[in-house]
Structure 1
């Protein structure tokens, strides 16, 4: 009976360790590709892409490379900045760019007659914690110039 009690305690402790180890992790949503219209804002999750202009233009939200934005629950002297890595594909030619949330840096890029702009990055930072990479959403706007 004593060995069984230890077995149950061990199993309970192991279950708690597994639950604690998995509880704080958030996996990225599965990558998706959506069709979007030029001139209309759209939102991408990390790893997802959009096809625009009858498939001639592709935009992939690769990652958030840095996020030093002022937390929403803090008063800051400077709003800070976040940088988003995107891959832009036009006619099977892919190029990498970094778009910023602060207008003090490049918030848009012009490539082969298209303008791709980072409109906003969500969620906003909080002083009490970090943002899981899979939680980021980039709102973008692509137009023909």
Structure 2
């Protein structure tokens, strides 16, 4: 009876520990994928991971307003490729602030596709629900 109770009690703890690993994305290179703020997404097919650290600047024109300037969003990410780490910044409009929309790191190209949610005057953006949409491509493929 004690063994049954012990197994019954420990089994959920063991299975939860296995699920605590970072999000593993079984996706092909070149396919856009989301990564939430403070979340790490691993590409299962490669030794590549991306962590969305923070949105540094959000000046995009709200979707429910007509603006004369589109604005831009600027984010900070941590990249890890084959054990090498780098903190980088990407922007949706590199001509405005000089921060690129794509960056090469190791043998991969990281491309900023979008940052969600898109700003609106009727809804406050919850920082915990932000996500960056990225595409990762192998250089030379």
Same fold (TM > 0.5): yes
> Does 2:28 correspond to 1:33?
no
Counterparts in 2 of 1:45 and 1:100: CA distance versus 1, 3 Å: same
Q: Which runs of 4+ in 1 moved over 4 A?
A: none
Counterparts in 2 of 1:52 and 1:31: CA distance versus 1, 3 Å: closer
Deviations 1:23-64 (A, max 9, x none): xxxxxxx99522233111101111112222634111111111
Aligned residues between the structures:
116
> Does 2:92 correspond to 1:101?
yes
Contact 2:24/2:42, CA 8 A, preserved across alignment: yes
Deviations 1:1-41 (A, max 9, x none): xxxxxxxxxxxxxxxxxxxxxxxxxxxxx995222331111
Calculate the TM-score normalised by the size of structure 1. 0.72
CA distance in 2, matches of 1:38, 1:70: 31
Calculate the TM-score normalised by the size of structure 2. 0.74
Counterparts in 2 of 1:59 and 1:108: CA distance versus 1, 3 Å: same
Which is higher, the Rg of structure 1 or of structure 2?
Answer: 1
- What's the C-alpha RMSD, in Å, of the aligned pairs? 2.0
Q: Which runs of 5+ in 2 are unaligned?
A: 1-19
Q: Which runs of 5+ in 1 are unaligned?
A: 1-29
